[in-house]
Amino acid sequence: MKKIVIAVFIFSNLLFAGINNNNVIDYSEFDKISSHELIRVMSNEIAKNLPIHIDYLTKMINIFGIGNNVVVKKEINIEHKDISDMWTNKKNQLIEAMFKLDSQNICHEPIWEYLVMKRDVIAEFKYVDTNSKPLFNYTVEKVDCQKIIK
């Protein structure tokens, strides 16, 4: 239990402190905790701060762990004038752009990179509209990060 409390403290500080990528992080204590427990702790800590507005069109509304997956649910306002035409006429390009953005964020953020690359955690993104209607989803996995990090 003490390790879980330490993990919560470390996760909350690292996730929201804007870690400098030049810093080396020692994950040896995390290696002693199961992936499922790390996912549960991380998801619960992030969920305490939801919703999080990512930009004026998008917000993270839910996060939870299922097995070795972290499920991130985001709401996007596809009716907004800045995106409605793109959603109607270039939906696949929008989804590709969102995948690229989410992949870059996952694969370059130190904690996420550790979880995906070393612990084989899968980040699953589910997008809904402002009425909670499902729009699209995808996963970011180790193979995706390997392409980005090289």
Is pLDDT at 11 greater than 90 in this prediction?
no
112 contact partners, CB below 8 Å, separation of at least 6? 105, 106, 123
Tell me phi and psi for residue 45, to 5 degrees: -65, -45
For position 21, what pLDDT does the model report?
53
Name residue 124's beta-bridge partners: 71, 139
The pLDDT tens digits for 14-52 are 444 444 455 667 788 888 888 999 899 889 999 999 999
More confident residue, 16 or 77: 77
Domain boundaries 2-149, corresponding CATH code: 3.30.300.250
Q: What is the mean pLDDT of the chain?
A: 86
Grade residue 108 by pLDDT with cuts at 50, 70 and 90: very high
